[in-house]
Structure 1
Amino acid sequence: MSDPKKTATVDLSKGVSAAGLVDGGMMLGHVGDQDVVLVRSGDELFAVGANCTHYRGPLAEGLVVGDTIRCPLHHACFSLRTGEALRAPALDPIACWRVEREGELIFVRDKMQAVEQASAIPTSTRPSSIVIVGGGAAGVAAAEMIRREGYDGPLTMISADADPPVDRPNLSKDYLAGDAQDDWIPLWPAEFYAGKRIEMVLGRQVASIDSARRTIRLDDGSERSFGALLLATGADPVRLPIPGATSDRVMYLRSFADSRAIVERTKNARHVVIAGASFIGLEVAASLRARGIDVDVVAPESMPLERVMGVEVGRFVRSLHEAQGVTFHLGQTVKAVDGRSVTLSDGTTLDADFVVMGVGVRPATALAEQAGIAVDRGITVNEYLETNAAGIFAAGDVARWPDPHTGQRIRVEHWVVAERMGQVAARNMLGARERFDVVPFFWSQHYDASIKYVGHAEAWDAVQISGSLESLDCSVAYKRGDRTLAVATIGRDAESLESEVRMERTTSEG
């Protein structure tokens, strides 16, 4: 691990003192007009691009772990030797430069040509064709990894969405707030899929799976055969049976089309009610406040996010929103929607131009159930993300896997986890036997407060807070006995990375 300190940028091509670079240390500089990070790992020296390829996070403020470097923003991981993006959310590599040492000086020389890495997976184990059902995080990360590993066979992605895969976390954050343009949201341009020979089938549902014949049937009656199949069907918004909730005044947020529709409605809106104080619901509240819209949040719990992050963090998040003008109606539910009138369970009525429902999601398991695939509050997979049907895998929000860190079978609804599952499932569909042992990670933005969370804690004995929530400088540990199950941080990105690495080195038996 490292505890990097950001330094003033220097011209690394002119030489810097080796004495100032300790093991695990980093130095931010430049070569020509490009920002570069010089890194020491053990006795080896590396120089790589200074910014993560996901959201351009400053890698010099990240963490060196062995021969890898991790981004402080969203925990992407890159190889220092090749620049390869080893773990999502970054999928594209960073550049590498040649490094030489002359006496006590280190020189960063020319940029190295990117070299396509040969796959370690034997070609003899590869399936005749691969079909991915779902166009979300797990599906697109799997497709990219399949091609990155050199698979040359037919590869098809089938998505019920009319849009190509998008950066879904942005739909409730920057895009909804008006800080991101439409063309920023797709993960890749359409020509990327054509260039990678990924057949994109958009706006189509898979109606059934025949695991014996190794075929799927689409809702238009057409069929596709597969050698390996990935179910990345994600989760669907919970739609409560509320009178009036089917009207055009009630909206959901799951797809790019959903977010665009909400943005369109905000153009003439002054007051919105949000049902649910989930992460999505609260991020929508923050985005609508950025547009100057009055927001009421209605939720049955006594404190927002209490079940996930505890009462202390929940109280703090509530105070952030209240300081921005959000009004909470806790211990309440939406009972009816009638035009502009929203009636709560205690009889209170609120005026609203429209309502956004954010009361949770359910894993989309119907397709798997119909095919006889094992389901238990999600599609059941083993440590290799394979279902009970040979050659059929599942990843993302829909999959429940045996987590070695908690000793439990868990299902997690987080973007980065879904992408990393897709990457592991991709390699395993090609014949690798790689266990999925990733420590879950997610982030949530609330105005100036960015909360990073690593681990998984469904229940805990104690919450230990170091620092100050109000000062946006703290870490919150969720513990059971002597074991730390999860850590949430605000303003302590390096500590979040360090917590992730510690958890990676600890299993439920350790």
Structure 2
Amino acid sequence: MAESHTKLNGPDLVQGIAFADLPDGGKLIGYCGDEQVLLVRRGAEVFAIGATCTHYGGPLVDGLVVEDTVRCPWHHACFDLRTGEALRAPAFNPLACWSVEQRDDRIFVGEKRKRTAPKQRDESSGEVPEKIVIVGGGAAGFAAAEKLRRERYQGSIVMFSNDEAPPVDRPNLSKDYLAGKAPEDWIPLRGESFYSKNDIDLRLSANVASIDARSGEVVLADGARTPYDRLLLATGAEPVRLTIPGADQPHVHTLRSFADCKAIIEQATTARSAIVLGASFIGLEVAAALRSRNIEVHVVAPGKRPMERVLGPQMGDFIRALHEENGVVFHLEDTATSIDGRKVKLSSGDTLTADFVVAGIGVRPRTELAEKAGLNLDRGVVVNAFLETSAPGIFAAGDIARWPDPHSGDNIRVEHWVVAERQGRTAALNMLGHREKYAAVPFFWSQHYDVPINYVGHAEQWDEIAVDGDIAAKDCLVRFRREARTLAVASIFRDIESLEAEVEMERQKT
């Protein structure tokens, strides 16, 4: 998804630069032929890698170098400086690497290196499974399947998804794609040929009815059975459905799947007004996307201010003001009680009129399969540090998993895209017997018009909010603390500080 660059920046690295022009720990952007290249110096070593993140094209020169890696400033992907390998989601594709030569106190970049397969990991404990089944076609399920093949796993992978579309880039569905600013070919995480080429048996519109843990089989709704040696539950979350009168009308939408998004876009092409129920991240991203289509938007939500539960009152007030500047009308401390055609009745007694309605009133983890299988539940599926459930050989990742977080010291469950992708990768390694603890710091981003909000860590409760900078000026770092310990950091246009906060949390485990 990186943008193509017509104008090349920086020096011609084939002609070389002075070694003194690249200080230790420094980064410098230049070009080789018609490609932008990032030089990074670590001590006496110099690395040359692709200059833009393979996720959304973030400029790595603005990122953070941590040991032998570089992290993207936009969405915290991480790459190996030596190999270019994408070490952390949301990036999956590696960066290109070039050979580097130092002579006469100058640095010269040579040929692009041939891609080499990632190093084989240390021997796993136990037998490598012959058959792995993944239930779920979202972020965690896709990331697990991709990682298994990247680790050169030779066994069978069957992936069941009850969606009709192959795994998609879900964050885009409420952001740029819904706003009409991203092409449709950005949406699939991989082209359809990826699955056949990598021998991943992706079965769409497949409904899994139960798990027979004793026989090691997944049972489908039609009675068919698929055996497994290891199983990953990555069933994700589903939208909370409206239950008020009129909620079942065709112009009342939720947004979770690619099909949901297309239905909203189709309605938006002729509509002039919309009502969004809920002032959550999804609800307000939808509101921003619809405003960019010049649709009149009213937001109805029960809270006093948007997103206060996650981001606190100061950020909540800022987000409200930002949306109001862009024409959104809020009806807070209010809820919809019925929908009669284009009329939406509110608990306050007011009536709003709109061409269509989008309900973003939350999601709930899809834990029914785990519950029927007798797995331990606690507001989600309980897993250990290796993402294994209470049943040996069955793992869980993504929105359903409640895991022991080494940073907060709590057992937590979060519904973040990047967390699901990273957990899918870790679960894949552990299904192969590698015993790798999941210890990544949670991260998510949200986009409202031209304002990105990055959030690192996890704070369900706090006793102090410390603001560095000016929220209203869109230049801030907001720390959420409990007992003087920073649990989470939200930021606007403070990319390096956000990355530094992530590193600091990684090093401060409880």
The answer to whether the 8 Å contact 1:41/1:64 transfers is no
* Residue 153 of structure 1: aligned partner: 155
TM-aligned CA deviation for residue 354 of structure 1: 1.4
What is the aligned counterpart of 1:256 among 248, 258, 262? Answer: 258
Following the alignment from structure 1 to structure 2, what is the Cα–Cα distance between the partners of residues 461 and 104? 54
- Give the Cα–Cα distance (whole angstroms) in 2 for the partners of residues 358 and 392 of structure 1: 32
CA contact (8 A) 1:77 1:87 kept: yes
* Structure 1 residues not aligned, in runs of 5+: 1-6
2:432 equivalent in structure 1: 430
The percent identity for this pair of structures is 59
Q: Structure 1 residue 18: deviation in Å?
A: 1.5
Residue 291 of structure 2: which of 289, 292, 307 is its match?
Answer: 289
Counterpart residue number, 1:484: 486
Give the corresponding residue for 1:3.
none
Q: Deviations over 1:164-215 (max 9, x none)?
A: 0000000001111111222221111110111110001000111010011000
Counterpart position of 2:332: 330
CA distance in 1, matches of 2:24, 2:301: 49
Aligned residue for 1:407? Answer: 409
Partner of 2:170: 168
* 2:42 aligned partner: 41
CA distance in 2 between partners of 1:23 and 1:484 (Å)? 30
**Match of residue 143 from structure 1:** 145
Residue 26 (str. 1) matches residue 22 (str. 2): no
Residues 159-198 of structure 1: pairs in structure 2 closer than 5 A: 159-198=161-200
Give 2:17's aligned residue.
Answer: 16
Check whether the contact 1:24–1:65 (CA below 8 A) recurs between aligned residues.
Answer: no
Q: Which amino acid aligns with 1:105?
A: R
Once the two structures are superposed, residues 215-250 of structure 1 have per-residue CA deviations (whole angstroms, 9 ceiling, x without a partner) of 011112211000100000000111132111112121
Look up the equivalent residue of 1:103 and give its one-letter code.
D
- SS of equivalent residue, structure 1 residue 107: strand
Q: Specify the code of the residue in structure 1 equivalent to 2:311.
A: M
Question: Structure 2: which amino acid aligns with 1:115?
Answer: T
Q: Tell me which residue corresponds to 1:223.
A: 225
Q: 2:9, 2:36 within 8 Å by CA — same for their partners in 1?
A: no
Q: Which deviates further from its counterpart, 175-184 or 222-231?
A: 175-184
For 2:487 and 2:74, the matched residues in 1 are separated by 21
SS at match of 2:14: helix
What secondary structure sits across from 1:424 in the alignment? helix
Q: Which residue of 1 aligns with 2:314?
A: 312
| Contact 2:9–2:31 (Cα < 8 Å) also in 1 | no
Equivalent in the alignment of 1:132: 134
**Distance (Å, rounded) in 1 between the aligned partners of 2:447 and 2:31:** 31
Deviation at 1:474, TM superposition (A): 1.2
- Rounded Cα–Cα distance in structure 1 between residues aligned with 2:9 and 2:115: 28
**C-alpha spacing 1:147/1:284, structure 2 compared with 1 (3 Å):** same
Deviations 1:7-26 (A, max 9, x none): 95111111212122222210
Note the alpha carbon deviations across 1:472-500, whole angstroms, 9 max, x for none. Answer: 21111111232111111111111111111
Q: Which residue of 2 aligns with 1:246?
A: 248
In 1, Cα distance between equivalents of 2:122 and 2:50: 28
Q: Secondary structure at the match of 1:10?
A: coil
**How far apart are the structure 2 equivalents of 1:233 and 1:147?**
21
CA distance in structure 2 between the aligned counterparts of 1:481 and 1:299, rounded to whole angstroms: 31
Of 384, 388, 391 in structure 1, the residue corresponding to residue 393 of structure 2 is 391
The answer to whether the 8 A contact 2:18-2:106 is kept is yes
- The question of whether the paired residues in 2 share the 8 Å contact of 1:332 and 1:345 is answered with yes
CA RMSD of aligned residues (A): 1.1
Tell me by how many angstroms 1:118 deviates: 3.1
Q: Aligned partners of 2:63, 2:422: CA distance in 1, in Å?
A: 19
Tell me which of 359, 367, 390 is aligned to 2:361: 359
Following TM superposition, by how much is the alpha carbon of 1:470 offset from its aligned partner in structure 2, in angstroms?
A: 2.2
Aligned to 2:226, the other structure's residue is in SS state strand
Misfit runs of 4+, over 3 Å: none
1:119, distance to aligned residue in structure 2 (A)? 2.1
Contact 1:373–1:379, Cα closer than 8 Å, also in 2: yes
Give the corresponding residue for 1:495.
Answer: 497
Question: 1:128 offset after TM fit, Å?
Answer: 1.3
Partner of 1:111: 112
Partner-residue secondary structure (3-state), 1:317 = helix
| Whole-angstrom CA distance in 1 between matches of 2:175 and 2:486 | 30
> 1:62-73 to 2 correspondence within 5 Å?
62-73=63-74
> Could you report, residue by residue, the CA deviation over 1:328-377 in whole angstroms, capped at 9, with x for unpaired residues?
01001111111111011111100011111101000000001000011111
> Given residue 51 of structure 1, which amino acid in structure 2 is its aligned partner?
T
Instruction: Provide the rounded CA distance (Å) in 2 between the counterparts of 1:240 and 1:93.
Output: 42
The aligned amino acid for 1:31 is C
Match of 2:54 in 1: 53
| Secondary structure class of the residue paired with 1:127 | coil
In the alignment, the residues of structure 2 paired with residue 370 and residue 393 of structure 1 have an alpha-carbon distance, to the nearest angstrom, of: 15
Aligned counterpart, 2:462: 460
Tell me which amino acid in the other structure corresponds to 2:35. Q
Summarize deviations over 1:397-438 as a string: whole Å, max 9, x none. 111100000000000111001000000000000011100011
Within the candidate set 441, 447, 450, 2:443 is matched to: 441
Q: 1:339 aligns with which of 320, 338, 341?
A: 341
Using the alignment, how far apart are the partners of 2:222 and 2:68 within structure 1? 49
**2:490/2:498 contact within 8 Å kept:** yes
1:208 aligns with 2:210: yes
**Code of the aligned partner of 1:94:** L
Q: Is the 8 A contact 1:118 1:150 kept in 2?
A: no
- TM-score after normalising by structure 2: 0.97
The AA in structure 1 aligned to 2:133 is V
Q: Provide the rounded CA distance (Å) in 1 between the counterparts of 2:185 and 2:63.
A: 29
Q: How far apart are the structure 2 equivalents of 1:289 and 1:174? A: 12
Question: 2: CA distance between counterparts of 1:486 and 1:405?
Answer: 10
Q: Paired residue for 2:352, among 325, 350, 353?
A: 350
Name the residue aligned to 1:237.
Answer: 239
SS at match of 1:29: strand
Indicate the residue corresponding to 2:471 in structure 1.
469
Question: CA–CA distance in 1 between the matches of 2:317 and 2:424?
Answer: 35
